[in-house]
Amino acid sequence: MEWTVRPFSEPDFPAVWVLERERDPAGFVSAVTVRQAAELWPGTFLVADGDPGIAGFTIGASSSDPSVGWVLRLKVREDCRRRGCATTLLHYLARSLRARGVRELRLTVAPWNAGARALYLRCGFTEETLLPDHFGSGEDRLALSRRL
């Protein structure tokens, strides 16, 4: 399947919000996240537009060290998973961040998320360290990085 990767725009809000709220059934925090990301990182909040509609999105940002960037979010619709959408989004995000001077891309992922870990390894990331309770009690994360 082919996707057009482009910056997020206002008409994308409903579809992106649905993806983001998978972990926030009430939806408020998800809505705030999407709105703030659009304002803060317009050049690195990207959507994959396909048929039908938005297949996924990613949000990236530079850190306080401008040579280091982060994948803050990567979400793909269930019916578009394992079809290259996430790989395409990561490619475009890395390209956009590299153009802004980023030379190392980092992210964290739940250690139990085998599918995401496999994706990141295929995309050139290296598993660095386990971060116990990174997002609170029982919310361990695995830190990964990749040179750009």
Read off the pLDDT of residues 24-66 as tens digits, 9 standing for 90 and up: 777 788 889 999 999 999 999 999 998 789 999 999 999 999 9
For residue 90, pLDDT over 80 is answered with yes
For residue 113, pLDDT over 80 is answered with yes
Domains in the chain, CATH or no CATH each: 4-147 (3.40.630.30)
Mean pLDDT of 74-97: 96
Read off the pLDDT of residues 114-148 as tens digits, 9 standing for 90 and up: 999 999 999 999 999 999 989 989 999 999 999 99
Residue 132: how many other CB atoms lie within 10 Å: 11
**Cα 137 to Cα 98: distance, rounded to the nearest angstrom:** 34
How many residues are recorded in the chain? 148
